[in-house]
C-alpha cells in the first residue's frame, strides 16, 4: 500500500513538473519570438531608440525654466547661478548670469585658493608657528599670538570661517611666500581659470591706489567650486556657524563665528546650504559664494556674487529667484 502511494505521488510530481516546464518553455519561447520579431523590425527599433533618447534628453535638460519668475535685476557687478548635477552623465546648466566673465576683485574669496594650495602641500596635523610678521597683517581675525603653534587644520578653520589674514600669512610663509603665490597661480592655470590671477594670499587691496590686485570672474569661481566639492574638509568647515577651536595641546583657543550670515538666516532653503565664503574690501565691495544642495537631491547649486553693495540680500534674491523660476 505504501509503495502504491509512493508511486502515485511520484507520478503526480512528474506530471506537474512536465506541465510546469512545458508552460514555462512556452512562455519564454513566445517572448523570444516576440523580441526576435521586434529586433528585425526597423520601425520598432527606431521608435524605441528615439523614446530612450528623449527620456535621457529630458532628464539631462532639467531643471526647466517656467514662467513664474520675473526677470531678475540685481545690483552686483557680476553673478552666476550654476546647476552642477550629481549624475556625471548630465551637463552643467547656467540658471542665471550677469557679466559672468568680467574680471573683478574678489577680496577674501581668495582664501579658497589659499586653502586649496595649503591642502596640496601640508598634512592637516602638521604644526606651524605663528610669526610676528603674520600677526602684523591687517585686521585681527583669528586672534593669533606671536610664537604660538597651531595645526594646519586649526589654521584652515580660522582662514575659512573668520577669514583670518593672519592665518593665510602663516600658511604661506611656512612654505615661502613667493613660492606659495606661484603655487596658487599654477593651480589656477591647471584648473583652466583663465580670468583669475593672484598677487597675494589674503585678498587685501593693494597699498597703492592703482596697484595690482587679486581678480577672478563669477564663471571661473563657479568652476573652481566644482573642484572644491570633491574635498569634504572645505564643506565641513564652511557649513559651520560656530566652532570651538582648541590648540593641538587641547587648550581652548576661542569660539569662531562664521562671517557667512546666511548660515543663520530664516530662508526656507537654509538647511540645504552646503557652505559658502564671504569677501569684502573697499575695491571689491561685497563678494559671496554660496553652495546649496539642489532640489530633490539632484546635485548642487553654485551661486557667486561679485561687486555688490549688499551681498547677503542679493544672494537671497538670486537663490529665491532660481527656486521660483525653475521646475525640477
Distance of alpha carbon 211 from alpha carbon 15, whole angstroms: 95
- Does the structure show a pLDDT above 60 at 298? yes
- Does the structure show a pLDDT above 60 at 164? yes
Does residue 255 contact residue 245 with C-beta atoms inside 8 Å?
yes
Give the pLDDT confidence score for residue 290 in this predicted structure.
98
Which whole number is the average pLDDT over 69-98?
94
The mean pLDDT of the chain is: 87
- Does the structure show a pLDDT above 60 at 141? yes
More confident residue, 56 or 220: 220
* N-term to C-term CA, the chain: 72
Distance of alpha carbon 296 from alpha carbon 120, whole angstroms: 33
- Does the structure show a pLDDT above 90 at 15? no
More confident residue, 138 or 16: 138
Distance of alpha carbon 162 from alpha carbon 117, whole angstroms: 18
- Does the structure show a pLDDT above 90 at 1? no
pLDDT, one tens digit per residue, over 109-135 is: 999 999 999 999 999 999 999 999 999
Nine-digit cell at 273? Answer: 546650504
Give the pLDDT confidence score for residue 26 in this predicted structure.
56
Distance of alpha carbon 191 from alpha carbon 80, whole angstroms: 19
Band of the pLDDT at 210, cuts 50, 70, 90? Answer: confident
pLDDT > 70 fraction of the chain, expressed in percent and rounded: 81
Band of the pLDDT at 5, cuts 50, 70, 90? Answer: very low
Burial environment of residue 163 by CB neighbours within 10 A (0 to 12, 13 to 18, 19 or more): buried
- Does the structure show a pLDDT above 50 at 16? no
Does residue 251 contact residue 226 with C-beta atoms inside 8 Å?
no
- Does the structure show a pLDDT above 90 at 30? no
What one-character DSSP code corresponds to residue 264?
A: G
Which whole number is the average pLDDT over 58-78?
81
Q: How many residues does the chain have?
A: 328
Rg (CA), the chain: 29
Does residue 128 contact residue 144 with C-beta atoms inside 8 Å?
no
Give the pLDDT confidence score for residue 70 in this predicted structure.
73
- Does the structure show a pLDDT above 70 at 244? yes
Give the pLDDT confidence score for residue 52 in this predicted structure.
44
- Does the structure show a pLDDT above 90 at 2? no
Lowest mean pLDDT of 10-24, 41-55, 93-107, 284-298, name the range: 10-24
Amino acid at each position: 500500500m505504501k509503495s502504491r502511494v509512493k508511486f502515485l505521488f511520484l507520478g503526480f510530481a512528474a506530471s506537474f513538473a512536465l506541465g510546469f516546464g512545458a508552460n514555462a518553455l512556452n512562455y519564454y519561447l513566445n517572448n523570444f519570438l516576440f523580441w526576435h520579431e521586434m529586433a528585425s523590425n526597423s520601425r520598432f527599433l527606431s521608435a524605441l531608440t528615439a523614446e530612450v533618447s528623449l527620456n535621457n534628453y529630458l532628464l539631462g535638460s532639467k531643471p526647466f525654466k517656467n514662467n513664474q519668475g520675473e526677470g531678475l535685476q540685481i545690483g552686483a557687478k557680476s553673478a552666476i547661478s550654476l546647476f552642477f548635477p550629481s549624475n556625471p552623465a548630465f551637463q552643467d546648466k547656467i540658471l542665471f548670469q550677469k557679466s559672468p566673465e568680467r574680471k573683478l576683485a574678489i577680496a577674501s574669496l581668495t582664501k579658497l585658493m589659499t586653502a586649496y594650495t595649503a591642502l596640496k602641500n601640508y598634512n592637516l596635523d602638521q604644526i606651524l608657528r605663528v610669526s610676528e610678521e603674520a600677526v602684523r597683517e591687517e585686521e585681527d581675525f583669528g586672534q593669533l599670538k606671536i610664537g604660538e603653534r597651531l595645526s594646519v587644520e586649526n589654521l584652515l578653520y580660522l582662514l575659512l570661517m573668520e577669514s583670518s589674514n593672519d592665518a593665510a600669512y602663516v600658511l604661506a610663509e611656512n612654505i615661502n611666500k613667493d613660492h606659495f603665490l606661484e603655487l596658487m597661480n599654477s593651480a589656477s592655470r591647471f584648473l583652466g581659470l583663465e580670468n583669475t590671477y593672484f598677487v597675494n594670499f589674503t585678498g587685501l587691496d593693494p597699498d597703492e591706489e592703482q596697484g595690482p590686485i587679486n581678480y577672478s570672474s563669477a564663471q571661473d569661481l563657479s568652476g573652481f567650486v566644482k573642484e572644491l566639492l570633491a574635498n569634504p574638509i572645505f564643506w565641513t568647515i564652511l557649513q559651520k556657524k560656530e566652532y570651538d577651536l582648541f590648540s593641538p595641546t587641547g587648550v581652548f583657543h576661542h569660539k569662531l563665528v562664521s562671517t557667512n550670515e546666511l548660515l543663520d538666516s530664516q530662508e526656507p532653503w537654509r538647511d540645504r546650504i552646503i557652505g559658502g565664503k564671504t569677501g569684502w574690501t573697499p575695491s571689491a565691495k561685497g563678494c559671496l559664494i554660496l553652495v546649496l544642495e539642489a532640489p530633490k537631491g539632484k546635485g548642487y547649486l553654485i551661486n557667486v556674487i561679485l561687486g555688490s553693495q549688499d551681498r547677503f540680500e542679493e544672494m537671497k534674491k538670486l537663490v529665491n529667484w532660481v527656486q521660483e523660476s525653475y521646475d525640477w
